[in-house]
């Protein structure tokens, strides 16, 4: 995995919508970069946790 792969996934899911074209892009990235799809799933899970924590921080700070 390249260092920027989690960043790319983060941008894709940042709007809380993961549509078919985004899924297709991720699948293409997994294939072209010989990435482990399980790792992509784990990164996605962690990004969801991060997003939830960030939303809680916003509530407290703002």
pLDDT of 15-26, one tens digit each? 777 788 888 888
Average pLDDT over every residue of 27-49: 83
19: left (phi over 0), alpha (psi -120 to 50) or beta: beta
Provide the pLDDT confidence category of residue 59 given band limits of 50, 70 and 90. very high
Assigned token pair, 7: 């960043």
Domain count, the chain: 1
pLDDT of 1 over the 70 cut:
no
pLDDT of 6 over the 80 cut:
no
pTM across the whole model: 0.62
- CA separation for the pair 38, 44 (Å, rounded): 10
Q: Domain range holding 22?
A: 5-61
* CA dist list (Å): 38 to 1, 3, 34, 62: 12, 17, 12, 36
- CA separation for the pair 1, 58 (Å, rounded): 31
């Amino acid at each position: 995995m390249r260092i920027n792969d989690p960043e790319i996934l983060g941008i894709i899911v940042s709007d809380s919508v993961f549509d078919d074209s985004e899924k297709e892009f991720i699948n293409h990235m997994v294939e072209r970069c010989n990435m482990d799809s399980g790792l992509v799933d784990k990164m996605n899970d962690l990004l969801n946790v991060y997003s939830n924590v960030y939303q809680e921080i916003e509530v407290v700070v703002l």
